[in-house]
C-alpha cells in the first residue's frame, strides 16, 4: 500500500530476467549464477504475481500509465528479458504463451543468429578454466585491466560475478575484448575456451515469438555499455540495433534496455532523437506516475531471490521481493545507472595502461 501511494495510485513493477533454464543444478556449475532461474521458479513467480493481483502488461502499457495517458485499476507487472538467450525461447516462451503473459525481449542484434557468446559469459568461463587449473596472477604481459579483474578472483578475495559486473561496466568494449584475448592466450587457446552454454536465439526464433505477440526491444549491437563508448559508436549502436530488429520483424522498435543498466544524458538524448519511447535500467526502485520513461526502474530477479532457509522455493521470500519489502526496510540499496559520459580519450588511454602480469601455475 505504501509503495502504491508512492507510485501515484498503482504499482508499476517491471521485472527483469536473463536465462530460464531446465537444469539449474547443472547450469550453476558453469554459468554466472545471477543470470539464472529455473523454469519451475519462473513459473511460480508468474503464478504468485497473478495471485497477488498484478495484471501482466506490456512495456507500452506501463509507459502510458506513467505518462497519465491511461489509468489502471490494478497494479501492473511487466516481464522483460535481456540479451535474447535461447533458453528464453525454449523454456520461458511456451510457458508465457500458455499463461497469456506478455513479455519483451531486449536484443543485442549483432549476436542474434550467431554462435558467438557474450563477453561476460566468456570471461566467466575463462576465469573458471583458470581456477580449475589453479592458476594465480603473475607478472608477464597481460594488460593491467586483466589483472585487476582476475587477480582478486583467483586469489579468492572477491566473488566472480561482482568483479565481472564492475569490470564490464568500467571498461570500453575494446578493452574488454583485449582482456579476453589476453586471457585466452595465457590459457593456451583452443576451442574449450569458448563456453558451450549461453547460446543465443536466431532470427527465426525471434520471429516465431513475435508472431505470438511477444515484443522486442533494442539492447545495442554488440552488448555494449554505451557510457563507455565514443559518441559515433554510441549512436551507431542505438540506430543500427533498432534498424536490425525492424528489418527482421517488420514492426517498429521503440524500447531500449541499457547494457549493464548504465546510461547518460547523452544516451537518452539519442534515444529520443531516434524515435524510442522508453529505456529500462536495472535500478531497483519504484516507478512513479509522472516519472521519466527513459529511466524505467526494474527489479532484476534470479533463482536465489526465492530460495528460503531450507533451500527450497519460498513463497514468503518471493512475496517480499515483489512487494519491495527489503528496499523499504533499508536492507537492500538500489545502485543507480546514471553515469557521466567517458570521453574517447579516456577509453584510448586505458589501452595504453599496461603492466607486466600473467598467470602462473602454483608452486
Tell the smallest beta-carbon distance from residue 18 to Zn ion (Å).
7
For 20, phi and psi rounded to 5 degrees?
A: -115, 115
Q: What is d(CA 242, CA 117) in angstroms, rounded to the nearest whole number?
A: 21
Residue matched to cell numbers 532461474:
37
- Residues that bind Zn ion (rule: CB under 5 A) add up to a total of 2
Indicate the residue whose CB is closest to Zn ion: 82
Q: Which residue, 83 or 303, is less far from Zn ion as judged by CB?
A: 83
Shortest distance in whole angstroms from residue 268 CB to Zn ion: 18
- Binding window for Zn ion (CB under 5 A); candidates: 29-37, 79-87, 122-130, 322-330: 79-87
Least gap, CB of 10 to Zn ion (angstroms): 28
Per CB under 5 A, the segment of 26-34, 75-83, 85-93, 300-308 that binds Zn ion is 75-83
One of 27, 61, 75, 83 touching Zn ion (CB under 5 A):
83
Binding of Zn ion by 82 (CB under 5 A): yes
Applying CB under 5 A, the span of 33-41, 82-90, 155-163, 306-314 interacting with Zn ion comes to 82-90
Nearer to Zn ion, 82 or 186 (CB): 82
The reply on whether position 215 binds Zn ion by CB under 5 A is: no
Q: Which three cell numbers stand for residue 136?
A: 594465480
Please return the burial class of 313, using the count of CB atoms within 10 Å of its CB with bins 0-12, 13-18 and 19+: middle
Part of the chain binding Zn ion (CB under 5 A), chosen from 39-47, 78-86, 126-134, 147-155: 78-86
- Exposed, middle or buried by CB within 10 Å (0-12, 13-18, 19+), for 83? buried
Nearer to Zn ion, 49 or 218 (CB): 218
Q: Between 11 and 297, whose beta carbon lies closer to Zn ion?
A: 297
- For Zn ion, which is the closer residue by CB, 63 or 280? 280
Nearer to Zn ion, 75 or 82 (CB): 82
DSSP SS3 for 140: strand
Smaller CB distance to Zn ion: residue 83 or 215? 83
Determine the interface stretch with Zn ion among 36-44, 81-89, 149-157, 303-311 (rule: CB under 5 A): 81-89
Neighbours of 225 (CB within 10 A): 23
CA distance 88 to 234: 27
**Residue of 111, 191, 180, 188 whose CA lies nearest to 150:** 180
Residues 303 and 33 sit within 8 Å (Cβ to Cβ):
yes
Phi/psi for 335 (5° steps) reads: -100, 130
Alpha-carbon distance of 148 to 52, in angstroms, equals 44
C-alpha cell at 65: 500509465
Closest CA to 14 of 293, 203, 227: 293
Q: How far is the CB of 289 from Zn ion (least distance, A)?
A: 27
Residues that bind Zn ion (CB under 5 A): 82-83
Amino acid at each position: 500500500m505504501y509503495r502504491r501511494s508512492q507510485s501515484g495510485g498503482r504499482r508499476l513493477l517491471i521485472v527483469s530476467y536473463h536465462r530460464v533454464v531446465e537444469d539449474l543444478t547443472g547450469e550453476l556449475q558453469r554459468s554466472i549464477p545471477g543470470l539464472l532461474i529455473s523454469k519451475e521458479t519462473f513459473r511460480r513467480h508468474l503464478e504468485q504475481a497473478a495471485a497477488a493481483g498484478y495484471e501482466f502488461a506490456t512495456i507500452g502499457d506501463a509507459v502510458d500509465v506513467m505518462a497519465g495517458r491511461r489509468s489502471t485499476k490494478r497494479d501492473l507487472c511487466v516481464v522483460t528479458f535481456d540479451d535474447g538467450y535461447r533458453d528464453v525461447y525454449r523454456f520461458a516462451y511456451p510457458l508465457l504463451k500458455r499463461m497469456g503473459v506478455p513479455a519483451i525481449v531486449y536484443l543485442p542484434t549483432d549476436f542474434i543468429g550467431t554462435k558467438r557468446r557474450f563477453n561476460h559469459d566468456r570471461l566467466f568461463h575463462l576465469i573458471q578454466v583458470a581456477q580449475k587449473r589453479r592458476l594465480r596472477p603473475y607478472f608477464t604481459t597481460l594488460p593491467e585491466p586483466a589483472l585487476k579483474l582476475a587477480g582478486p578472483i583467483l586469489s579468492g578475495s572477491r566473488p566472480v560475478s561482482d568483479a565481472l559486473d564492475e569490470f564490464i561496466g568500467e571498461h570500453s568494449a575494446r578493452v574488454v575484448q583485449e582482456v579476453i584475448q589476453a586471457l585466452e592466450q595465457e590459457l593456451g587457446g583452443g576451442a574449450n575456451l569458448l563456453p558451450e552454454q549461453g547460446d543465443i536465439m536466431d532470427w527465426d526464433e525471434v520471429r516465431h515469438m513475435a508472431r505470438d505477440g511477444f515484443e522486442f526491444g533494442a539492447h545495442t549491437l554488440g552488448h555494449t555499455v554505451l557510457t563507455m563508448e565514443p559518441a559515433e559508436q554510441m549512436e551507431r549502436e542505438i540506430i543500427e540495433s533498432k534498424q536490425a530488429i525492424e528489418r527482421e520483424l517488420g514492426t517498429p522498435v521503440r524500447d531500449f534496455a541499457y547494457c549493464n543498466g548504465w546510461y547518460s544524458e547523452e544516451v537518452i538524448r539519442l534515444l529520443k532523437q531516434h524515435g524510442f519511447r522508453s529505456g529500462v535500467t536495472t535500478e531497483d526502485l519504484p516507478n512513479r506516475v509522472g516519472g521519466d520513461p527513459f529511466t524505467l526502474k526494474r527489479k532484476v530477479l534470479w533463482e536465489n531471490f526465492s530460495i528460503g532457509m531450507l533451500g527450497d522455493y519460498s513463497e514468503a521470500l518471493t512475496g517480499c521481493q515483489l512487494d519491495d519489502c527489503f528496499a523499504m526496510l533499508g536492507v537492500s540499496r538500489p545502485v543507480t545507472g546514471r553515469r557521466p559520459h567517458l570521453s574517447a580519450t579516456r577509453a584510448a588511454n586505458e589501452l595504453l595502461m599496461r603492466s607486466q602480469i600473467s598467470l602462473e601455475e602454483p608452486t
